[in-house]
Structure 1
Amino acid sequence: MLDDFYTASIAEALDFADTHHWTRQPPRSDSARLRFLATRYAELGALASRLDTKPRLVKEVMKGRQSAPGSVLSQAIAKDVVRLWQPRVRRRAHHLISTGHDGMLVHFKAWFGFTGAAGSSDDGRVRHITERLPMAYAARLFQARYRNADEGELREIIADAVGEAYFNVSPRGKLHWVRLTDIVYIQFSY
């Protein structure tokens, strides 16, 4: 569906990782995808707003009278389908990961490290890291995603999790020792 999926968004990367647990494939054409999405939104205007287009164009594409112009709209439709497809299957997979039956692996290239003394080996810099996340952080990440937390909060959770696994430091209260910024790309597997 998203063959060349490449994102700096943690929320989108989580959604894409969920695709590996689907039991059925989503609709393939843009018009069929829009008909599916229309069942998830109260009104066509809200769907059009989400896709950053006009309701009239959504209606035309949905009816098959017009194809989605350009790959930007087509990709926005596909990403929203990925976000909403098979929520029960997604939650079941998240439960297994959160309870320790399976693990979560994160792979990213980003500015990562301590905001500390320049020149130390732990000082922040662009790093290419693959790390298994501690179980408790996977549960926190999924809970934050369910309530549509912003990217900043998701980054703090990932920074704390990878900081604990990579540097062996835990955050204390609201103090986040490790920072994750300027994400080039991020992927999850579970």
Structure 2
Amino acid sequence: MKPTITSVAQALDLADARHWTRQPPKHPTARLNHLLLAQDIATLAARLFTHPETLTFWRQCDTTSLSDSQTRLIEREILRTWQTAIRHRAHRRILDHHGCVAVQIRARFTYTTHHGEHEDPRLHHLTEELPALHARALFEAQHQQAPEHHLRRILADGIAEAYFFRALPPDQQQAAVTISDLHHVRFHY
């Protein structure tokens, strides 16, 4: 069974992994060495919810004391930072050659119109191709390490255009769509 992904950033990183030319290191010490080449120890410690001294200990001595959650955090960081040049090149190729950025999402949505806000209680299961403008914005935001709420905003706008408002003329698209409850998201490109 595939894991449920509720983070747009993590789903993008997993989709990017399909474009890697080499697999990342498997051993925790090698992973930490790679991560510390990509960022300073204080930044990495904050992202792994630990202290710089603990990272130094793990790197130099012993990774057997890593908990499952710490191992998953290191895995997440490897997915985020591995072969960034390769992923940027893949994104450019996809966008420049009118490639498809498909999203599979299971979520609840909120609609905001000039009449107020309406929360839809239904859990939507959608598979849509994002419009090129939104795919580009999503990739650019990911490259700039935008926060999750910003990525969700871009994704919601893309879903709105691709699914909710596709039958309406542009002058009648008066609602804003927000992802209010994200259960699963997956990208394929």
Shorter chain as denominator, the TM-score bin is 0.7 to 0.9
> Partners in 2 of 1:64 and 1:5 — Cα distance?
32
Residue 156 of structure 1 aligns with an amino acid whose one-letter code is R
Residue 156 of structure 2 aligns with an amino acid whose one-letter code is A
1:165-180 equivalences under 5 Å are 165-167=162-164, 168=166, 177-180=176-179
Deviation at 1:129, TM superposition (A): 0.9
**Percent identity for Structure 1 against Structure 2:** 36
Aligned residue for 1:59?
56
CA RMSD, 1 decimal: 2.6
> Partners in 1 of 2:169 and 2:187 — Cα distance?
21
> Partners in 2 of 1:26 and 1:77 — Cα distance?
12
* C-alpha contact (below 8 Å) 1:109/1:128 kept by paired residues: yes
Aligned residue for 1:185?
184
TM-score by length of 1: 0.84
> Partners in 2 of 1:106 and 1:186 — Cα distance?
7
What is the aligned counterpart of 1:148 among 115, 127, 145?
Answer: 145
1:94-109 equivalences under 5 Å are 94-109=91-106
Deviation at 1:99, TM superposition (A): 2.1
Aligned residue for 1:128?
125
> Partners in 1 of 2:74 and 2:102 — Cα distance?
27
Deviation digits for residues 71-92 of structure 1 (CA, Å, limit 9, x no counterpart): 1100100111111111111001
Aligned residue for 1:31?
29
Deviation at 1:163, TM superposition (A): 1.3
Aligned residue for 2:80?
83
What is the SS of the residue equivalent to 2:179?
strand
> Partners in 1 of 2:151 and 2:133 — Cα distance?
14
Residue 130 of structure 2 aligns with an amino acid whose one-letter code is L
Residue 80 of structure 1 aligns with an amino acid whose one-letter code is E
Aligned length: 182
Residue 183 of structure 1 aligns with an amino acid whose one-letter code is L
- What runs of 5+ residues in structure 2 fail to find an aligned partner? none
TM-score by length of 2: 0.85
Aligned residue for 1:138?
135
Structure 1 residues 50, 131: CA separation in 2 closer, same or farther (over 3 Å shift)? same
* C-alpha contact (below 8 Å) 1:115/1:124 kept by paired residues: no
Deviation digits for residues 120-178 of structure 1 (CA, Å, limit 9, x no counterpart): 9x956321111111111110111111222222221121111111111215888xx7522
> Partners in 2 of 1:108 and 1:32 — Cα distance?
34
Structure 1 residues 170, 41: CA separation in 2 closer, same or farther (over 3 Å shift)? farther
Q: Which runs of 4+ in 1 moved over 6 A?
A: none
